[in-house]
């Protein structure tokens, strides 16, 4: 019987062990994807000329700007939370102060009554020639009065203690808020400096790309880098397992929302002045606006890619991926699952753009799809 019980317990534990093993395998594959992407980026970003060196400088500038934006957003969120908490503490302080004034009057009355009656009240009741039952009732009433006095005083002291605690918390929150404001000012000054440095790099790059052939060469290089990245990511994620509850991407054709609201600057497949055709759509939008996932998926790339700036790629299963480029900052990391409509980035102009917006692509097995047949509106 004992061996049978051990066998049954081991049998029941198998699904949990298998699940744990599956999660470990997934993490190992994600780690492998990250290493392969890093290796590919090193190869793609090798410095070969002065222009390449400028592009490296631009990447450094834009990574710095992206990180500063993330830190500024965090400080602002912290400040909003502390401001709300400070408001709640002030409201509690006001309520406690009103309670204190009310209780103070009650305590003063109780203390005055106790002083007048003194300690002889019970003795007077006992010496009074009255019915014993009436005396007992009066003694019980007297005890109730004493208990009520004690409760009133205890409540008053507890209110004073809480009021002191709240006042201390308010002072601490004010000091922290002031410190965060100073940090915010410093980060914003650093951001101004970083943007100035980026613009200087862009000006030098513009001089390098004065002729159309150089511009075309750069665009073709950018496209090749993106294609290699997509192909590499596609091969790497082939071994990843999607959950059973994942809604098929293909079933949402024509029903998905655009990642941002804004004017579309080009059409899919439209020929550009340099002869290259658009494989996606650029959506003009204000800097800092949230970029949202069009469908549930896993983040398979979240980093800087030359020519695309701060780029995030989502894998939606069945060979479908969505790409969001030129972001200001990225809010999700490699391996994370995101739901439809969740913020994955902030609109920006990284990658050397002279305007803010998001370059958006949908791909199936590496081949670009027309986003207008997938997203409505």
- How much of the chain is in helix, strand and coil states, percent to nearest 5? 60, 15, 25
Say if CB 159 and CB 103 are below 8 A apart: yes
Q: How confident is the model at residue 47 (pLDDT cuts 50, 70, 90)?
A: very low
Q: Give me the pLDDT at residue 180, please.
A: 82
Q: Give me the pLDDT at residue 111, please.
A: 64
Q: Give me the pLDDT at residue 311, please.
A: 94
Q: How confident is the model at residue 46 (pLDDT cuts 50, 70, 90)?
A: low
Conformation bin of residue 104: beta by default, left when phi > 0, alpha when psi is -120 to 50: alpha
Report whether pLDDT(78) > 90: no
Q: What is the Cα–Cα distance from 190 to 108, expressed in whole angstroms?
A: 59
**Residue 217 parent element (H or E):** helix 212-237
Handedness of CA 15, 19, 24, 25 (dihedral sign): positive
Q: 165-216 pLDDT, tens per residue?
A: 877 887 888 888 788 888 878 887 887 787 777 777 777 766 665 554 555 6
Report whether pLDDT(113) > 90: no
The reported pTM is 0.60
Q: How confident is the model at residue 145 (pLDDT cuts 50, 70, 90)?
A: low
Counting Cβ atoms within 10 Å, is residue 311 exposed (0-12), middle (13-18) or buried (19+)? buried
Of 255 and 34, more confident: 255
Determine the Cα angle at 287 with ends 265 and 291, to 5°. 75
Quote the tokens at residue 62: 């834009």
Q: Give me the pLDDT at residue 364, please.
A: 94
Nearest CA to 311 out of 280, 341, 270 is that of 280
The mean pLDDT value of the chain amounts to: 76
Q: Quick one: what percent of the chain has pLDDT higher than 70?
A: 66
Q: Give me the pLDDT at residue 299, please.
A: 92
Report whether pLDDT(250) > 60: yes
Report whether pLDDT(288) > 80: yes
Q: 310-351 pLDDT, tens per residue?
A: 999 999 988 899 999 999 999 998 889 999 999 999 999 998
Report whether pLDDT(293) > 80: yes
Q: Give me the pLDDT at residue 202, please.
A: 72
Q: How confident is the model at residue 63 (pLDDT cuts 50, 70, 90)?
A: confident
Mean pLDDT of 242-266: 87
Mean pLDDT of 234-258: 78
Q: How confident is the model at residue 40 (pLDDT cuts 50, 70, 90)?
A: low
- The 8-class DSSP code of residue 77 comes to H
Residue 137 neighbours by CB under 8 Å, 6+ apart: none
Nearest CA to 277 out of 285, 269, 267 is that of 269
Q: How confident is the model at residue 3 (pLDDT cuts 50, 70, 90)?
A: very low
C-alpha distances (whole Å) from 151 to each of 120, 158, 195, 268, 325 are 22, 10, 64, 76, 66
Q: Give me the pLDDT at residue 284, please.
A: 95
Report whether pLDDT(2) > 50: no
Q: What is the Cα–Cα distance from 297 to 284, expressed in whole angstroms?
A: 24
Report whether pLDDT(268) > 80: yes
Q: What is the Cα–Cα distance from 156 to 295, expressed in whole angstroms?
A: 57
Ranking 29-43, 186-200, 220-234 by mean pLDDT, the lowest is 29-43
């Amino acid at each position: 019987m004992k061996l049978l019980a051990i066998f049954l317990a081991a049998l029941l534990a198998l699904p949990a062990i298998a699940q744990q093993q599956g999660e470990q395998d997934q993490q190992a594959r994600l780690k492998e994807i990250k290493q392969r992407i890093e290796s590919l980026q090193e190869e793609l970003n090798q410095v070969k000329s002065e222009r390449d060196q400028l592009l490296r400088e631009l990447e450094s500038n834009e990574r710095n700007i992206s990180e500063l934006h993330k830190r500024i957003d965090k400080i602002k969120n912290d400040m909003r939370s502390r401001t709300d908490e400070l408001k709640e503490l002030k409201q509690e302080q006001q309520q406690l102060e009103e309670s204190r004034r009310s209780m103070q009057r009650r305590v003063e009355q109780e203390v005055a009554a106790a002083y007048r009656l003194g300690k002889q009240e019970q003795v007077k009741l006992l010496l009074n020639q009255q019915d014993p039952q009436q005396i007992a009732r009066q003694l019980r009433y007297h005890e109730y009065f004493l208990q009520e006095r004690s409760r009133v005083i205890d409540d008053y002291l507890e209110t004073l203690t809480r009021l002191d605690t709240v006042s201390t918390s308010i002072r601490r929150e004010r000091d922290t808020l002031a410190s965060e404001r100073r940090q915010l000012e410093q980060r914003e000054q650093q951001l101004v400096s970083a943007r100035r440095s980026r613009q200087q790099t862009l000006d030098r790059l513009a001089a390098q790309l004065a002729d159309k052939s150089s511009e075309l060469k750069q665009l073709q290089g950018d496209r090749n880098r993106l294609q290699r990245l997509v192909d590499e990511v596609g091969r790497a994620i082939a071994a990843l397992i999607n959950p059973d509850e994942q809604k098929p991407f293909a079933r949402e054709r024509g029903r998905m929302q655009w990642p941002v609201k804004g004017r579309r600057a080009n059409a899919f497949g439209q020929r550009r002045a340099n002869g290259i055709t658009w494989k996606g759509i650029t959506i003009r939008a204000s800097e800092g606006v949230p970029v949202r996932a069009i469908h549930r998926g896993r983040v398979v790339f979240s980093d800087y890619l030359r020519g695309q700036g701060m780029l995030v790629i989502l894998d939606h299963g069945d060979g479908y991926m969505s790409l969001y480029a030129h972001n200001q900052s990225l809010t999700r990391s490699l391996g994370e699952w995101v739901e439809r409509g969740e913020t994955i980035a902030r609109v920006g102009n990284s990658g050397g753009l002279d305007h803010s917006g998001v370059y958006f692509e949908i791909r199936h097995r590496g081949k670009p799809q027309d986003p207008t047949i997938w997203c409505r509106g």
